A and B are shown apart, each in its own frame.
Chain A
Amino acid sequence: MNNEELKAYIESHYGSQLTYNEAGKYDLLFEVDASNLVTVCEKLKNDSELLFDYFCNLSGADTTERFEAIYNLASTKKKIRLDIKVILPHENPVVNSVQTIWPAANWYEREMWELYGIHINNHDNLTRFLLHDEWDEGFPMRKDWDAPDFIRFPDL
């Protein structure tokens, strides 16, 4: 299945929940509502035409107006790739955990919580692990983050 066919398939079967986003280059990028995330992911994994059984990566992003969580999925059997983006508000960002679908997501979600402050619902172990134990300076990957001993690179 190439990208065109995959796009057509997803738009015909999941058109109500996934909207195409043209920012994605090379691979397809779809947007999903935070409330639908888990149900859609479950369907994508079990759909016999898609079989997204492989969780590549999860990354957060901060655009200063909103947060984004990007799930990169792949299928080892159908050899296809798909990206899913969830847009979250800048105040109180909350997203549901997908670790029941892909256990691999556990650490990625934990990392996103730690560095971006995006809260994960239904996560079994939301504790600090990248930063040191006494860290109390907030969420360092946010664009507006600052600290007294943080030295910025001179402007380019």
Chain B
Amino acid sequence: MGIIKKLPVYSEKIPGGGIVTTSVEQVLNFAQAKSLWYLLFGTACCAIELMCTGASRYDFDRLGMIFRASPRQADLIIAAGTITKKMAPRLRTLYDQMAEPRYVIAMGGCTIKGGPFYYDSYSVEKGIEHIIPVDVFIPGCPPRPESLLEGCITLQKQIQQRKLGDWQEK
């Protein structure tokens, strides 16, 4: 069973190659985790850090993450920035348009609980968790690109630990 557990990460090490034995669960999880295409959804300050993470120095691509402009092609929403009451229904629509399995990262204080706009603001949603289900929260105002990378790696780990039954019922 040892080989199967490590597969498919070490599949190229099998002498001769050609035959790979693994479980469907691991192949699916591996494929999903290593090619998380994210929706380019940035509303406020965090969007600039999201851009920086995608650009030269931090290079999101090495995690297999490429931005998509259309929700139909995306697996992941990185909700970067304040969500206002006017924007909330649009966020829900975007989420509904994505194909299963889909994931959400809440980036920054505003998406967690309203951030600096919690008090005295008549137009800001206090957190996005009651609009769409969130998998990973990244605190910060705005979070550094390193935090975002760590959040994405956390999500990838979560995905790789899933059982086949988990995402059928979701």
Contact = CB atoms under 8 A, between A and B. Distances in A.
A13 interface: no
> Interface residues of A: mostly helix, strand, loop or mixed?
loop
A48 to B, nearest CB: 45
Interface residues of B, number: 9
B85 interface: yes
A153 interface: yes
A152 B86 contact: no
Nearest to B114: A151
Interface residues of A, number: 13
Contacts, number: 24
Contacts of B118: 151
A153 B119 contact: yes
A130 B118 CA distance: 19
A132 B123 CA distance: 8
Closest 4 CB pairs of A and B: A132-B86, A153-B119, A140-B122, A153-B120
Interface of A: 130-133, 137, 140, 145, 147, 150-154
12 contacts: A131-B86, A132-B86, A133-B86, A137-B122, A140-B123, A145-B122, A150-B120, A150-B122, A151-B119, A152-B119, A153-B119, A154-B119
Interface of B: 84-86, 118-120, 122-123, 126
